[in-house]
Each structure stands twice: as structure tokens, then as C-alpha cells.
């Protein structure tokens, strides 16, 4: 029987993290890294700007890609990988996976992985469900494929039309080792202002002595299994 994990807006409740202890919500502070993650891309206008901002800060990000957009913009997807960033899947078409038939879940997972592999040569082992919603069927499909579920410490809300200052205020308390922050590198997400926001976040993190790495560079609690970097 499927179980609904409700929409997670901005900061997941502690009780949810305890119930879902097989999901990577954040790392432990040991490594000194935090992870900037980007959903819904690639976007041929926004993603390159984000990549430039990350490069200026000597930062490595994690990009959870939509398969249908990878097929549309394979060169942009390839540039993310070639510039040293970590890739994950965000499904093929961005549906709500809750209560989907198993065969449809498998299509969303497998077709997105194939699209990413065809464009970049990388077999991804990380998955972030659209809207942060999944059920036991999704979890089983991912486990069978040895993929890890990655959610977040804080959802920036860069898609909501709020100002850069408001987004920065929301994520300010989470600029610390172990944190996983979510942004959206599309015109409908962070838009053209995302480049400036990423620069501000990187500058403040570095000022605090926090290194900026991929999800695979976080220190992970013992009960979490993380597959690590993309496989060639």
C-alpha cells in the first residue's frame, strides 16, 4: 500500500525526517561542505549563467535534471557534466509520482536516466522526486536500481516570484556545513536573478568558511547509503 509524503514547503518538519530515515535530507557537518542543488533544468539561458557563478566561486553543484529537457537541450546538460558538477535525475516529465502505477514510475525513472546518459555519458545514482512527493512504490523502484533519494534542508522558494532579498533571508540560517539547498535553474524558477543569488550565497558561505561541493562530498550519517559520483 502506498503512503503519501506530503508537499514539503521550504523546511521539512523534524518528525518527517525521523520517519523517513532512509532519505538524504542533509549531511553531517564533518566534511565542512554544504551542497547547492538545482532542479528542473537544464535551461540554455539560465543554466550557463549558474555554471559561471559557481565557477567564479570554485564551487561544485548538484543538478537534478528533467529527462525531457535533457533531450531538448543535450549540449547544456553535457556542459554541466564537463564542468565538473554532479548530476541526478528529477524524473522524465515532472509528474506527481504518488499513487502512480509502478510501470509508469519505472518509465519516469528509467527514461530520465537514459536521456541523461545519452547526453552526458553518466549513469546517475541520485534521484529527487518532483515536489518532494513519493510513496513506497517509488522508493522500491529506486532501491532496485541502487539509486538514492535526495531531498533538502531548505527549499529556497526562488520559483515563487519573491525578491532575491527574501529568498536570501529564507536560506540564511542554512548556510552551514551539511546543508542541502534547492534552487531552480529555469526561467520559470530562479530566472535571470538566480545568477546573482548564487553569487551572493557562495560569497557568504565562503566568508563563513563553508566549502561548496556536490551532494557526494557531504559527510553522511551511517544509516544513509549514498551511491556517490556519476559512473562513466
Instruction: Give the orientation angle of helix 74-82 with respect to helix 102-120, to 10 degrees.
Output: 70
Identify whether 104 is a catalytic site residue.
no
Catalytic residue among 94, 184, 185, 216: 184
Identify whether 7 is a catalytic site residue.
no
Catalytic residue among 39, 158, 185, 216: 39
C-alpha cell at 224: 544513509
Q: Which residues pair with 154 in a beta bridge?
A: 181
> Long-range contact list for 76-80, CB < 8 A, 24+ apart?
76/41, 76/42, 76/43, 76/44, 76/47, 76/48, 77/41, 77/42, 77/116, 77/119, 77/120, 78/119, 78/120, 79/47, 79/48, 79/51, 80/41, 80/42, 80/47, 80/51, 80/120
Half-sphere exposure of 61 (CA within 13 A, CB side): 33
Provide the annotated active-site residues. 39, 184
Amino acid at each position: 500500500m502506498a503512503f503519501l509524503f506530503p508537499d514539503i514547503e521550504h523546511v521539512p518538519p523534524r518528525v518527517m525526517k525521523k520517519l523517513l530515515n532512509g532519505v538524504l535530507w542533509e549531511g553531517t557537518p564533518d566534511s565542512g561542505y554544504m551542497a547547492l542543488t538545482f532542479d528542473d533544468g537544464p535551461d540554455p539561458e539560465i543554466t550557463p549563467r549558474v555554471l559561471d557563478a559557481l565557477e567564479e566561486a570554485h564551487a561544485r553543484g548538484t543538478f537534478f535534471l528533467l529527462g525531457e529537457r535533457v533531450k531538448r537541450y543535450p549540449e547544456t546538460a553535457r556542459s554541466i557534466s564537463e564542468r565538473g558538477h554532479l548530476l541526478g535525475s528529477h524524473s522524465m516529465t515532472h509528474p506527481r509520482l504518488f499513487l502512480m502505477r509502478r510501470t509508469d514510475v519505472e518509465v519516469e525513472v528509467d527514461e530520465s536516466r537514459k536521456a541523461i546518459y545519452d547526453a552526458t555519458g553518466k549513469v546517475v545514482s541520485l534521484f529527487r522526486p518532483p515536489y518532494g512527493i513519493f510513496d513506497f512504490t517509488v522508493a522500491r523502484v529506486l532501491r532496485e536500481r541502487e539509486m538514492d533519494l535526495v531531498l533538502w534542508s531548505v527549499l529556497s522558494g526562488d520559483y515563487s516570484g519573491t525578491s532575491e532579498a527574501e529568498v536570501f533571508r529564507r536560506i540564511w540560517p542554512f548556510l552551514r556545513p551539511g546543508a542541502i539547498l534547492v534552487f531552480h535553474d529555469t526561467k520559470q524558477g530562479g530566472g535571470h536573478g538566480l545568477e546573482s543569488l548564487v553569487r551572493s550565497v557562495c560569497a557568504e558561505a565562503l566568508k563563513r568558511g563553508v566549502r561548496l561541493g556536490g551532494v557526494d562530498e557531504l559527510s553522511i550519517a551511517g544509516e544513509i547509503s549514498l551511491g556517490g559520483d556519476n559512473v562513466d
